């Protein structure tokens, strides 16, 4: 019983507990595209429509290799670094993507909702905090890489890239608006050697840079990430647009009631006027046994339990406006 009580306390007080040991892990999507590629013009709109549904979960950057056309204006603006980052993943076709360092099979569509959702809901022992200052062409970016817990592995690489959020330009394909265009790397294009700080500490980087006259200064920001070169796994990433909270629980969780409880098939929870975005079910030993992202009706969350074994479970509901937790018994 003590173990079950402890797990419930961890869920209820997640904001204070998780803030010490873990942070939300963002999806870094490196998008390899080309402004003269007709296939990119055909596939990219659906891709952007999908990732636009997850603005709080994704960091996106568009990299422009000379594939299939070296005449791409964005490639020509920085051919060496666009090529180097593409070669890092052995990119052989566009459009294509890597998610948190894992290169995805080239397909139509570029990315499905199921694949995207399979990466959501993860945590990281690292939090990357980005702040920026300056006006006009002269900017300063400060990046703090916070270690919240022991980070497995070694030989990390730290990256910081200058990105232009929106670029209005038409190449020879149908695209007229380009998103999160990679402009320049503040670190080495292959990353700088990085050793994480001890848990509870951080490593700070400061970059002073100038904005090119061909960029829109109002659209420029810095994207930073840490990666393991051996596996290419991205430990975490950060931008100035991220919340300053470290925890995956952005608001203190509220306890709600499950009805009926005990449950045999469908359990329901009331969350006021909120709408659920993610529903997680944890077994008594703390293992997550179910996660779903289906849109629910306002105020009501339905939880199918037919396939669950008998026992005690803990429910965590992440809504648009808050986080809710509950305990239920499956008969």
- At residue 4, the pLDDT reads 41
- At residue 276, the pLDDT reads 85
Is-above-0.85 flag for pTM?
A: no
C-alpha–C-alpha distance, residues 156 and 132, integer Å? 24
HSE at residue 273, side-chain half, CA atoms within 13 A, is: 0
- At residue 45, the pLDDT reads 97
HSE at residue 78, side-chain half, CA atoms within 13 A, is: 20
Helices 14-21 and 2-12, axial angle in degrees (round to 10)? 90
- At residue 286, the pLDDT reads 67
* Topology of the domain covering 24-238: Immunoglobulin-like (2.60.40)
- CB contact burial 136-171 (16+ within 10 A = b; e otherwise): eeebebebbbbbbeebeeeebbbbbbbbbbebeeeb
- At residue 324, the pLDDT reads 85
C-alpha–C-alpha distance, residues 31 and 39, integer Å? 14
Question: Tokens for 102?
Answer: 């894992």
Residues of the chain with CATH 2.60.40.10: 24-238
C-alpha–C-alpha distance, residues 32 and 63, integer Å? 5
List residues bridging with 229 in a β-sheet: none
- At residue 69, the pLDDT reads 97
Looking only at the bridges linking them, the beta strands covering 266-270 and 300-304 are antiparallel
C-alpha–C-alpha distance, residues 238 and 124, integer Å? 12
- Indicate the CATH number for domain 2-20+248-330: 2.60.40.3080
Nearest to 302 by CA among 256, 262, 267: 267
C-alpha–C-alpha distance, residues 119 and 221, integer Å? 25
Residues of the chain with CATH 2.60.40.3080: 2-20+248-330
C-alpha–C-alpha distance, residues 318 and 219, integer Å? 31
Ordered per-residue pLDDT tens for the chain, 331 residues: 333 444 444 444 443 333 447 888 999 999 999 999 999 999 999 999 999 999 889 999 999 999 999 999 999 999 999 999 999 999 999 999 999 999 999 999 999 999 999 999 899 999 999 999 887 899 999 999 999 889 999 899 999 999 999 999 999 999 999 999 999 999 999 999 999 999 889 999 999 999 999 999 999 999 999 999 999 999 999 999 987 643 444 445 688 889 999 999 999 999 988 888 778 888 876 677 887 765 567 888 989 999 999 988 888 888 877 788 888 999 8
C-alpha–C-alpha distance, residues 34 and 96, integer Å? 10
- At residue 60, the pLDDT reads 98
Measured in whole angstroms, how far is the alpha carbon of residue 298 from the centre of its chain? Answer: 25
Task: Report helix, strand and coil shares of the chain as percent, to nearest 5.
Answer: 20, 40, 45
């Amino acid at each position: 019983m003590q173990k079950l009580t402890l797990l419930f306390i961890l869920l209820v007080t997640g904001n204070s507990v998780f803030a010490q040991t873990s942070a939300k892990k963002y999806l870094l999507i490196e998008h390899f595209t080309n402004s003269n590629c007709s296939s990119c013009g055909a596939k990219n709109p659906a891709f952007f429509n999908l990732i636009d549904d997850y603005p709080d979960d994704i960091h996106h950057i568009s990299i422009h290799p000379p594939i299939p056309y070296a005449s791409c204006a964005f490639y020509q603006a920085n051919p060496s670094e666009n090529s180097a980052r593409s070669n890092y993943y052995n990119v052989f076709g566009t459009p294509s993507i890597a998610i948190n360092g894992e290169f995805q099979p080239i397909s139509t569509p570029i990315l499905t909702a199921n694949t995207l959702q399979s990466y959501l809901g993860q945590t990281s022992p690292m939090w990357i905090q980005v702040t920026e200052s300056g006006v006009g062409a002269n900017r300063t970016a400060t990046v703090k890489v916070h270690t919240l817990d022991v980070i497995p592995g070694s030989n990390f690489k730290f990256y910081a890239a200058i990105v232009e959020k929106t670029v209005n330009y038409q190449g020879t394909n149908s695209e007229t608006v380009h998103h999160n265009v990679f402009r320049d790397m503040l670190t080495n294009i292959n990353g700088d050697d990085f050793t994480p700080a001890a848990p509870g500490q951080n490593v700070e980087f400061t970059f002073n840079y100038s904005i090119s006259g061909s960029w829109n200064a109002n659209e420029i920001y810095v994207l930073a990430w840490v990666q393991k070169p051996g596996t290419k796994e991205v430990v975490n990433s950060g931008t100035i647009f991220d919340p300053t909270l470290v925890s995956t629980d952005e608001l203190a969780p509220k306890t709600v009631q499950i009805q009926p409880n005990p449950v045999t098939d469908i359990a329901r929870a009331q969350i006021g006027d909120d709408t659920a975005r993610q529903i997680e079910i944890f077994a008594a030993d703390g293992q997550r046994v179910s996660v779903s992202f289906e849109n629910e009706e306002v105020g009501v969350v339905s939880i199918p339990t037919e396939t669950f074994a008998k026992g005690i479970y803990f429910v965590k509901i992440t809504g648009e406006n808050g986080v809710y937790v509950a305990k239920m018994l499956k008969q």
